[in-house]
Structure 1
Amino acid sequence: MERRRLGRTGLEVSRLGLGTMQWGRGVDAATAGEQLTAFLDAGGSLVDTAALYGDGRAEGLLGELVDKLGCRDDLELVSKSGLRRRGEDVVRDTSRGHLLTQLDRTLAALGTDHLDLWLVHVWDDATPAEETFAALEHAVRTGRARYVGVSNFSAWQTSWAAGWLAARPDHVQVAATQVEYSLLRRSVETDVVPAAAAHGLGLLAWSPLGRGVLTGKYRGGVPGDSRAAHPEWESFVGAYLTPARSRIVEAVARAAEGLDVSPTHVALAWLRDRPQVGSALLGARTTDQLEHALASEHVELPVEIVQALDDVSEGAR
């Protein structure tokens, strides 16, 4: 698999990454092990997780598998902190104390002394930004994170983080921003992508298949075994099951038919090659789904198809 420098840093990552949001919850230990093995066999190296993924079980499961396979040196481990459970609710907390405590727990769960990339999971209005960014700086200074970044930040929040850290004595570079980005969600191109380019950040794109809609599985309705049929995910996926976005899905399907590949491959190849994108994160429920998505590595879209998809998805900005 092709590797890329992440933004203007020396960190190299695979251009397809493995997401673990459902590990320990919708994805059991056996399937997670199959997925990690398949990902490594395909030449993948960037694995993305977070403190709360899998109801807090994903990091521990990933750590067990990395230890079992002895593959730590083959991976770029990425994790995120800044969310916590308060009773039944998930709340934002990017205070220095919580971030660094969560980071230490992450390292223990993963069985490593450092993350290759540590991200603040969300912006938190209740915490002074300087306090949050100082925690990132401290993590780099103490060796617990090789690189740092942000997640789900707006353009001005991203610029603030990059500018503040760069102006500090340690001149810490913000390496990446993780955002939702796909043919069905191009709004980040308006401001976040230009901000990332200006400050030398790479993009880690989550939900590159438009919450699963770009696979084409919903073209004939909502399958009973799909996420859109589950009460927990119905509104999340349903937001993209609109007439306007259906036109984009149909265009992807037509392109796929013409190229004799799948809609998944077309959608991922389009996203993978957008400016600033360092890695597209694949979150699969089954190993077959992951292996199918990984096969997009070998798909190159003709310029004419890229332009056609750009045109039809313009409204998703």
Structure 2
Amino acid sequence: MEYRRLGKAGLKVSALSLGSWVTFGKQVDMTDAKELLKTGYDAGINFFDNAEGYEAGESEKIMGEAIAGLGLARDTYAVSSKVFWGGSKPTQMGLSAKHVRDACDAALIRLKVDYLDLFYCHRPDIDTPIEETVRAMHQLVLQGKVLYWGTSEWSAQEITAAHAIARQEHLTPPTMEQPQYNLLHREKVEAEFRPLYENYGMGTTIWSPLASGLLTGKYNDGIPDDSRLALPGYEWLRDIWSSEDGLHKMAKIRALGALAGELEISLTHLSVAWCLKNPNVSTVILGASKLAQLEDNLKAVDCLPLLTPEVMERIEICVDNRPAAPARWGQ
């Protein structure tokens, strides 16, 4: 396993990490969770990602009990939570100082830990001043409940504002952002965020490297019954990929699949390895509902040497979506 700094921070996280969105508490029970976590940990994964909004906290409970059951030494792994969607009442949502504190305390209980290594603002909150949120996160850091705080799906402008407030008020600034990033979704990470890497040393813990499974190629001939797109409650995701734009992207995926075949690797490995080629990616969060799926995804690291400058350019031809001001790597 390769380990990378979380941006300019001293914390080193595994290049591949394990997340629980959609899986823990929905597709994965306690027995399966322990198996997945142990397999990932034994393979070198040292970062496990979670959120209060994942299955209304059930995902955190399962992860916490599984880690405790495995007896993993607390100084050998990092675990995260996110705050925004904690419940239906007004004080259970958003990024107010109250909810930030309550969400952190609740996550500590569910995850069975004394502190969170990473704590994210899961979305920007238009009803709460950024200064209030930055100060609330700073207080958690001072209390020893959180080591690093960050954002997820914030804009570069919002993150810049958080840094400016932190500097002016002598508060702890955000360390990392958790954006969606994959071969079909590139603009924010490669173009919009460039000043954040250069000016603040922001790290990124990216999610959806396989575009909700599309970049595995398993949807090329329809939606399997046991897939994420077939789950109740995820019709919105299914509708996106059945749209005209979705069908256009499916053509790109087939072209990528053909290239992966030439390299004698899977489309999954190609897609994850491509994300890892970006030096501004601190870790790629994997999601898995089955042990075999995780074991296979872990092999993507071994495919990095195959992504030569020539292959990277052929990938660009397949996807034809290079951002206007891209960060160039792998060349």
Which TM-score band applies after superposition, normalised by the shorter structure?
A: over 0.9
Of the structure 1 ranges 63-72 and 138-147, higher mean CA displacement relative to structure 2 is found in 63-72
1:313 aligns with 2:319: yes
Closer, same or farther in 2 for the Cα pair 1:225/1:78, shift >3 Å? same
1:3 aligns with 2:7: no
1:5-27, Cα deviation, whole Å (9 max, x unpaired): 01111111001110012212221
Closer, same or farther in 2 for the Cα pair 1:193/1:99, shift >3 Å? same
The 8 Å contact of residues 184 and 313 in structure 1, kept in 2 or not, is answered as yes
The 8 Å contact of residues 212 and 237 in structure 1, kept in 2 or not, is answered as no
Q: Which amino acid aligns with 1:105?
A: A
Matching residue of 2:278: 274
Closer, same or farther in 2 for the Cα pair 1:94/1:55, shift >3 Å? same
Closer, same or farther in 2 for the Cα pair 1:174/1:39, shift >3 Å? same
Question: How many angstroms does 1:193 deviate by?
Answer: 4.2
The 8 Å contact of residues 57 and 110 in structure 2, kept in 1 or not, is answered as no
1:295 aligns with 2:296: no
Matching residue of 2:170: 169
Matching residue of 2:255: 251
Identity %: 34
Q: For 1:163, what is the secondary structure of its paired residue?
A: helix
Question: How many angstroms does 1:54 deviate by?
Answer: 2.5
Q: Partners in 1 of 2:91 and 2:191 — Cα distance? A: 29
Q: For 1:295, what is the secondary structure of its paired residue?
A: helix
Question: How many angstroms does 1:92 deviate by?
Answer: 4.2
Q: For 2:114, what is the secondary structure of its paired residue?
A: coil
Q: Partners in 1 of 2:162 and 2:53 — Cα distance? A: 23
Q: For 2:146, what is the secondary structure of its paired residue?
A: coil
**Unpaired segments of 5 or more residues in structure 1?**
none
Matching residue of 1:217: 218
TM-score, with length taken from structure 1: 0.93
Q: Partners in 2 of 1:61 and 1:216 — Cα distance? A: 30
Q: How does 1:140-179 map to 2 (within 5 A)?
A: 140-170=141-171, 172-179=172-179
Closer, same or farther in 2 for the Cα pair 1:90/1:253, shift >3 Å? farther
Q: Partners in 1 of 2:238 and 2:75 — Cα distance? A: 36
Closer, same or farther in 2 for the Cα pair 1:197/1:73, shift >3 Å? same
Q: For 1:219, what is the secondary structure of its paired residue?
A: coil
Matching residue of 1:70: 71
Question: How many angstroms does 1:133 deviate by?
Answer: 1.0
Q: Which amino acid aligns with 1:271?
A: C
Q: Partners in 2 of 1:20 and 1:193 — Cα distance? A: 28
Of the structure 1 ranges 213-222 and 106-115, higher mean CA displacement relative to structure 2 is found in 106-115
Question: How many angstroms does 1:192 deviate by?
Answer: 2.8
Q: Partners in 1 of 2:247 and 2:194 — Cα distance? A: 26
The 8 Å contact of residues 177 and 196 in structure 1, kept in 2 or not, is answered as no
Q: Which amino acid aligns with 1:291?
A: E
Closer, same or farther in 2 for the Cα pair 1:283/1:193, shift >3 Å? farther
Q: Partners in 1 of 2:316 and 2:199 — Cα distance? A: 23
1:267-300, Cα deviation, whole Å (9 max, x unpaired): 0000112131001111112111111111112111
Question: How many angstroms does 1:190 deviate by?
Answer: 2.7
1:181 aligns with 2:187: no
The 8 Å contact of residues 25 and 55 in structure 1, kept in 2 or not, is answered as no
The 8 Å contact of residues 184 and 316 in structure 1, kept in 2 or not, is answered as no
1:81 aligns with 2:83: yes
Closer, same or farther in 2 for the Cα pair 1:91/1:273, shift >3 Å? farther
1:49-77, Cα deviation, whole Å (9 max, x unpaired): 01121231111111112212121222111
Question: How many angstroms does 1:159 deviate by?
Answer: 1.2
Name the Cα RMSD after superposition.
2.0
Q: Partners in 2 of 1:275 and 1:247 — Cα distance? A: 28
TM-score, with length taken from structure 2: 0.90
Matching residue of 1:33: 34
Q: For 1:315, what is the secondary structure of its paired residue?
A: coil
The count of corresponding residues between Structure 1 and Structure 2 is 315
**Unpaired segments of 5 or more residues in structure 2?**
324-331
The 8 Å contact of residues 165 and 173 in structure 1, kept in 2 or not, is answered as yes
Q: Which amino acid aligns with 1:235?
A: W
Q: For 2:51, what is the secondary structure of its paired residue?
A: coil
Q: For 1:258, what is the secondary structure of its paired residue?
A: helix
Matching residue of 1:109: 110
1:12-48, Cα deviation, whole Å (9 max, x unpaired): 1001110012212221111111110110111111100
Question: How many angstroms does 1:157 deviate by?
Answer: 0.9
Q: Which amino acid aligns with 2:184?
A: L
Q: Partners in 1 of 2:49 and 2:282 — Cα distance? A: 13
- Which one has the bigger strand percentage? 1
Q: Partners in 2 of 1:114 and 1:165 — Cα distance? A: 22
